[in-house]
Amino acid sequence: MAMMALLTGTVLAQSNPTIGSVAASNLRDVKFTWVVESANQRELAKINRDFANSMRFKTSLVEMEEPFKLRMESTVEDSTVIFIVNGPKKLIRIPRTGLTQREDVSGAPGKRQTFFDFGLLTPSLFQNYFTGTFVRNETRGDLNGLAVFDVKYVPSLNDKTRHRIWVDKAKKVVIKREWYGQDGVLKATFRLGAHTQSNGAWIPTRITVYNADNAVAGSSRFEGVVANRGIDDSRFSVN
């Protein structure tokens, strides 16, 4: 009996996916227009002020490239705002006013934006940045069959923020994400859907965010999604 239990446990352990096995190793870059469809500032403010402000931009051109390169170009009234993260370096530029602000965010992961924020898992995220621990294979409701992981920052980043994610193991995309603050309290839940395939990679095209009260705080869609076409490195310059 003891031997049978040991063998069963070994088989189950071998069948459990690792975070590396659900990361999209074929996703090198992606580009799309992020369109905010609804943004309830009162409900968004319950998540946090920075997140609420990010939903004030009605449309943004988003470009991302492995590893850790992101550019967002948004228009607010008559001003263009350019936001770039390249590795540990962050830049905000408003050409109309001449404002340029640079920051080293290597020790502040909460100030960085990555593929993860858009429901995408890439290998570089789990190389000295995040850890991913398998929790279970979901068996309930519309999430049945998805792999559940807890995602945390590596200890050296000294940030106790945690995410619980539900991942489609075949498409290697996040379907649901729960965001817990450093105090362990749920801040927001994200539901991602309408995934589309572009050059071999699956990308979500709709995101709905709920606050801790389970109230819909905002929704958005991604238009003109193109992956793995290559993006000029100069687009991510922080100089």
Domain assignment present for residue 5? The answer is no
Whether this model's pTM surpasses 0.85: yes
Report the helix count and the strand count for the chain, using DSSP H and E: 3, 15
| Best CA proximity match to 23, nearest among 115, 87, 100, 93 | 115
Distance of CA 122 to CAs 11, 64, 180, 182, Å?
27, 11, 21, 23
Domain assignment present for residue 58? The answer is yes
Domain assignment present for residue 100? The answer is yes
Domain assignment present for residue 203? The answer is yes
Domain assignment present for residue 15? The answer is no
Domain assignment present for residue 239? The answer is no
**Residues 109, 89: Cα–Cα separation, whole Å:** 11
Number of domains in the chain: 1
Distance of CA 226 to CAs 28, 36, 75, 230, Å?
11, 19, 21, 10
The CATH number that applies at residue 80 is 2.50.20.10
pLDDT tens, N- to C-terminus, the chain (239 residues): 555 544 444 444 447 899 999 999 999 999 999 999 999 999 999 998 888 888 888 999 999 999 999 999 998 778 899 999 999 999 999 998 999 999 999 888 988 899 999 999 999 999 999 999 999 999 999 999 999 999 999 999 999 999 999 999 999 999 999 999 999 999 999 999 999 999 999 999 999 999 999 999 999 999 999 999 999 999 999 98
Domain assignment present for residue 24? The answer is yes
CA-CA-CA-CA torsion sign (82, 207, 159, 152) = negative
- Structure confidence at residue 54 (pLDDT): 85
- Structure confidence at residue 6 (pLDDT): 45
Element (H, E) at 49: helix 49-54
Domain assignment present for residue 236? The answer is no
Range of the domain at 36: 20-229
**Are 202 and 222 a contacting pair, CB within 8 Å?**
no
Which residue's entry shows tokens 């965001």?
Answer: 179
- Structure confidence at residue 2 (pLDDT): 53
**Are 109 and 116 a contacting pair, CB within 8 Å?**
no
- Structure confidence at residue 8 (pLDDT): 45
